[in-house]
């Protein structure tokens, strides 16, 4: 991770096909595009790879989440349960459709705690949205059981975990809807882009229409298409889709590299007394994009993170103090800092997060370090990196 590290001739050819046709828009201009439909091609490849009936490409992972929610009928005042550790896009996508983001604690998987989820369910809860952060998944079996019991939608945000699996199913395909990001720093990239996958025909058709101003895409005359309901513009371009067409064909190649380098790092660190690794739920397989481990205390985690940086070990993250990925620095959400007026539902229903107790999350995140696994490294670089990391950590702990 990320896929741009290994751009090559495959990506160049796909993009050149689009430039040669001159048609950069995913819809229309049938006679001019010389048979090239890159978005459609990528949607089919994604659905096949994820073992689902449908895939819908959109402009970003954030867009995928908003479109997925809207396509399932989620709107004003509906509560969506999400974790304290994620990217800000999670609550942005919920607020964008008028929903209410309900933050709950994570556990040692660094994802949603099923126990915390059940405590947060109310009569207004409509969706449970686990976010498979840093390459590994939530305890999907337990969350699915809760969703079935309370008649809730299970929406998987698999934006950081494409290629992983749970109970033999690709991540994103286990729930009712799954979402992916193909932005510039994801395992496979379109530059900018995202997608949702589902086996629900109604959700898919809604997403297809909603993401393109409500167009029903019936017939070959775009101007004559009907608009059965309001929609917005979340389209991906053919240029972005073209890059994705090449990258998805290379997904297994990238995953194999990630697993190899991840294993070198983990095998070198696992015997160090005082560190433990994040829990991967039984039946789960990571996509190996990050190695995630815990130090004994928050103080030691900060010390180790600082020491790794001084030793030249980049791409190791201490999310506890991160502006974008952990609730502690989400002041714009906490204080509802917006350009325009928010709906009354959001203003009255949103919990007062200035008074929230997420100490259980803090207990995990305060001790956690995540190390990105780059596919552009050489094996020798990874081995040297692992030795340096081990030396630094041992010096800090002993």
- Per the structure block, which two tokens stand in for 65? 């989440």
Per-residue pLDDT reduced to its tens digit, 144-158: 999 999 999 999 999
Query: In degrees rounded to 5, what are phi and psi of residue 262?
Result: -60, -45
- Per the structure block, which two tokens stand in for 60? 């970003």
Question: Average pLDDT of 88-95?
Answer: 98
Q: Which are the contacts of 253, defined by CB distance < 8 A and separation ≥ 6?
A: none
| Topology given in CATH for the domain delimited by 3-250 | 3.40.640
pLDDT of res. 2: 86
Bridge partner list, 83 = 104
252-397 under CATH 3.90.1150.10, yes or no = yes
Helix (H, G, I), strand (E, B) or coil at 165: strand
Domain residue limits, the chain:
3-250, 252-397
**Of the candidates 246, 248, 244, 236, the residue with the CA atom closest to the CA atom of residue 24:** 236
> Structure pTM?
0.97
Question: Average pLDDT of 377-391?
Answer: 98
Query: In degrees rounded to 5, what are phi and psi of residue 165?
Result: -150, 160
**Of the candidates 298, 315, 308, 307, the residue with the CA atom closest to the CA atom of residue 365:** 298
pLDDT of res. 385: 98
Per-residue pLDDT reduced to its tens digit, 306-356: 999 999 999 999 999 999 999 999 999 999 999 999 999 999 999 999 999
CA distances from 306 to 313, 314, 325, 393 (A): 10, 10, 19, 11
Query: In degrees rounded to 5, what are phi and psi of residue 284?
Result: -100, 145
**Of the candidates 257, 256, 333, 398, the residue with the CA atom closest to the CA atom of residue 95:** 333
> In the block, which residue shows the tokens 């550790």?
85
**Of the candidates 152, 185, 141, 171, the residue with the CA atom closest to the CA atom of residue 82:** 152
- HSE toward the beta carbon, residue 308, CA cutoff 13 A: 23
Residue 190 CA to residue 182 CA, distance in Å, equals 5
Per-residue pLDDT reduced to its tens digit, 212-244: 999 999 999 999 999 999 999 999 999 999 999
Q: Which are the contacts of 129, defined by CB distance < 8 A and separation ≥ 6?
A: 65, 80, 81, 82, 90, 94, 155, 156, 157
Per-residue pLDDT reduced to its tens digit, 358-374: 999 999 999 999 999 99
> Please, which pLDDT band fits residue 95 given cuts at 50, 70 and 90?
very high
> Please, which pLDDT band fits residue 139 given cuts at 50, 70 and 90?
very high
> Is residue 291 exposed (0-12), middle (13-18) or buried (19+ Cβ within 10 Å)?
buried
For 302, other C-beta atoms within 10 Å of its C-beta total 18
**Of the candidates 27, 97, 38, the residue with the CA atom closest to the CA atom of residue 62:** 97
């Amino acid at each position: 991770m990320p896929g741009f590290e290994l751009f090559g001739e495959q990506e160049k050819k796909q993009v050149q096909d689009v430039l040669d046709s001159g048609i950069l828009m995913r819809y229309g201009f049938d006679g001019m595009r010389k048979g090239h439909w890159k978005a459609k091609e990528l949607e089919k490849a994604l659905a096949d790879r994820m073992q689902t009936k449908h895939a819908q490409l959109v402009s970003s992972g954030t867009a995928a989440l908003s479109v997925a929610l809207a396509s399932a009928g989620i709107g004003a005042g509906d509560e969506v349960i999400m974790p304290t550790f994620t990217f800000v896009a999670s609550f942005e996508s919920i607020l964008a459709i008028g929903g209410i983001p309900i933050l709950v604690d994570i556990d040692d998987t660094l994802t949603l705690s099923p126990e915390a989820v059940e405590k947060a369910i109310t009569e207004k809860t409509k969706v449970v949205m686990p976010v498979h952060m840093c390459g590994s998944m939530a305890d999907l079996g337990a969350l699915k059981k809760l969703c079935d019991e309370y008649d809730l939608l299970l929406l998987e945000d698999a934006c950081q975990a494409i290629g992983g699996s749970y109970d033999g199913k690709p991540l994103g395909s286990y729930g009712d809807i799954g979402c992916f990001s193909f932005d510039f720093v994801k395992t496979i990239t379109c530059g900018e882009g995202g997608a949702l996958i589902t086996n629900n025909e109604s959700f898919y058709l809604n997403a297809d229409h909603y993401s393109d101003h409500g167009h029903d895409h019936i017939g070959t005359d775009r101007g004559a298409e009907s608009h059965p309901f309001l929609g917005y513009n979340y389209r991906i371009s053919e240029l972005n889709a073209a890059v994705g067409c090449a990258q998805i064909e290379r997904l297994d190649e990238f995953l194999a590299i990630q697993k190899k380098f991840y294993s070198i790092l983990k095998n070198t660190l696992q015997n160090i007394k005082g560190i433990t690794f994040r829990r991967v739920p039984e039946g789960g397989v990571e996509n190996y994009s990050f190695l995630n481990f815990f130090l004994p205390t928050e103080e030691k985690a900060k010390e180790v993170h600082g020491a790794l940086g001084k030793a030249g070990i980049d791409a190791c993250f201490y999310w506890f103090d991160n502006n974008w990925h952990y609730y502690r620095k989400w002041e714009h959400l906490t204080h509802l800092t917006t350009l325009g007026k928010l709906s009354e539902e959001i203003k009255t229903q949103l919990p007062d997060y200035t008074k929230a107790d997420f100490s259980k999350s803090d207990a995990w995140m305060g001790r956690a370090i995540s190390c990105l696994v780059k596919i552009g490294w050489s094996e020798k670089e990874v081995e040297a990196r692992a030795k340096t990391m081990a030396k630094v950590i041992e010096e800090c702990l002993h």
